[in-house]
Amino acid sequence: MSLQARVATLIVAFLGVAAVVAFVVVKYFLASSGPPTEDFTAHVTADTGTAVNVVMQEAPQTTVTTDPDWVTYFIQNPRTHQWVHTTNFAVPAGSRVNVTIYGFDGCTPLRNQLWGQVTGTIGNAMTVNGKTTKVLNSWSECSVAHTFAIPSIGLNIPVASPTSFQANSNLCSTSPCDLDDPHTVVKFSFMTPRTAGTYFWQCKIPCGLGYLDGNGGPMQTIGYMTGNMQVVG
C-alpha cells in the first residue's frame, strides 16, 4: 500500500478504536448509566425543619424487566405519583425523612435475627399497619419480608410481610403492585446526616432466590434490593 493509504488507514483505525472505547465507557460504565435517582430535594433545603416524604414498595416480581422472578423495590415519584423502577433517591441533609413502605412480598426468615430489631429511627420504632413495633421475630412468626437498612447511619427496618398462610400464597404477581393485593404498610422516620454524600442501603433478607445463600442476583443489583441514598447539602 502507498504511504498515503497506510496513513489514512491508520488514522481511521485509531478513530474507530477511540470511538468504541468512548461508547463502551459512556453506555456501560458511567454512573449515569444506572437506574435514575428519584429526587426528593425539590422545595426542601437542608435544616429548614420541613420533612420529606418518601413512598416505596417492595414487590415479589419485577415483570417490567427481563428478570421477572427477581424481587424488587419501587419508589414513587414525588410529583407524578407514578411507581419508578429504581432504588436511588436524593434527600436533603439534616432533615427529617418520613418513609412509607408498602410490603407486598411474603415472609422469609432472616439469616441473622439481629436485623429484626428496628434501629436508627426517631423513637427507635416503626408502625406496621398503624401499630407501633420495635422488633419482629422472623423465625417463630411469618412476619418479615425484606429489610431496609442504611448501615452507615445505623438505620435498620425489617419490612413487615402479610402474616397469614393464605395471603402468602396469593401474593401480587405483576409489578408494580397495587393496593388490592395483600400487603402491609410500614411507616417510620429518620434524620438524614448533616454531611452530604452517598450512603448505600441494602436488604438483609436472603431474597435472591436461586442464588447461593440467597444473597445474589437482586440483592446485589442496584435498582432491585439495594441502592443509594444521596444526601444533598
Partner 1 sequence: MSALNQPRHSTHREPNHGLRMALVWVVLSLAADLVIWFVWYPHLPPGRMTDVAAGQQFDMAVLSLFAAPVILFIWIYGIYATVVWRRRPGDNEDGPPIRGNKRVSAAWIAVTTALVLGLFGFGTYQLIVPNGAGGGQGASPAWAPSKVDLQVQVIAQQWVFTYRYPQFGGFETTQLVLPKGEEIQFHVTSLDVIHSFWAYQLGVKADANPGVDNVAFARPQQTGPFVVRCNELCGLWHGAMFDYGRVVSRAAFLTWAKTTETKLASVTKQLPPFALTYDPTVIKTLGPVLTKLGLTGAGGGFYGPQVPVQP
Partner 2 sequence: MAIETEPTSGRLPGEPPPPAHPRRYRPWWLHPGMHTGFAGAVGGYFFGHWLGNAIGSGWQQVATADQNNLAMMLGYVFLTVGWLAGLGVFNDLLRGLIGRPIPHEEQESEARGGLARYFQYTLGHKVVGIQYLVGMIIYFCTAGLLAMAIRTELLSPTYHIFSAPTYIEIVGEHGTMMMMLMTSLITGPFGNYLVPLMIGAKRVAFPRIEALAFWLTPAAFLILLSALLVGGFPFGWTGYAPLSIQATEGADAYAFAFGLMGISVILAGFNLIATIICYRAPGMRWSRLPIFVWAVFTTSFLFVLAAPVLIGGMYMMLTDRTVQTAFFVDQLGGSAYLYQNVFWFFGHPEVYILALPGFGVVSELLPVFCRKPLFAYRVSAAGMLGVGLLSFFVWQHHLFVSGINPDMRPVFMLTTELISVPTGFIFLVALGTLWRAKIRFEVPMLFVFAFFFNFLIGGVTGVYQSDVPADVLVHGSFFVMAHFHYTIMGGLVFAFMAAIYYWLPKLTGIRLNRTLGLIQFWTMFIAFNSTFLPLFAVGALGQPRRVFEYAQNLQTLNDWVSISSFVLGGSILVFVMNFVWSMVIVRERETGNPWQSRGLEWQTSSPPPFENFRHIPVVLSDPYEYGVKDAPPVAELDPPPGVLAATFDPAVAARLEA
- Note whether 193 and 93 are within 8 A (CB): yes
Strands 52-59, 131-133: pairing is unpaired
Cell numbers linked to 210 = 436461586
Helix H or strand E encompassing 5:
helix 3-24
User: Which of partner 1, partner 2, none does residue 168 bind (CB under 5 to 8 Å by kind)?
Assistant: partner 1
d(CA 86, CA 205): 19
User: Which of partner 1, partner 2, none does residue 70 bind (CB under 5 to 8 Å by kind)?
Assistant: partner 2
Is residue 110 involved in binding partner 1 (CB under 8 A)? yes
Is residue 49 involved in binding partner 1 (CB under 8 A)? no
Question: Distance between alpha carbon 141 and the CA centroid of its chain, in Å?
Answer: 25
- CB neighbour burial string for 67-76, b if at least 16 within 10 angstroms, e if fewer: eeebbbbbbb
Is residue 2 involved in binding partner 1 (CB under 8 A)? no
15 vs 24 by CB, closer to partner 2? 24
Strands 126-128, 184-191: pairing is antiparallel
Print the binding letters for residues 126-155 with partner 1: x by CB under 8 A, - otherwise: --------xx-x-xxxx------x-xx-x-
User: Which of partner 2, partner 1, none does residue 113 bind (CB under 5 to 8 Å by kind)?
Assistant: partner 1
70 vs 188 by CB, closer to partner 2? 70
Q: Which span sits near partner 1 by CB under 8 A: 3-11, 73-81, 95-103, 217-225?
A: 217-225
- The strand pairing partners of 39, in sequence order, are 90
35 vs 94 by CB, closer to partner 2? 35
CA nearest 66: which of 216, 218, 177? 218
Q: Which residues form the interface with partner 1 (CB under 8 A)? A: 106-114, 116-117, 134-135, 137, 139-142, 149, 151-152, 154, 163-165, 168-169, 200, 202, 204-215, 219-220, 222, 226
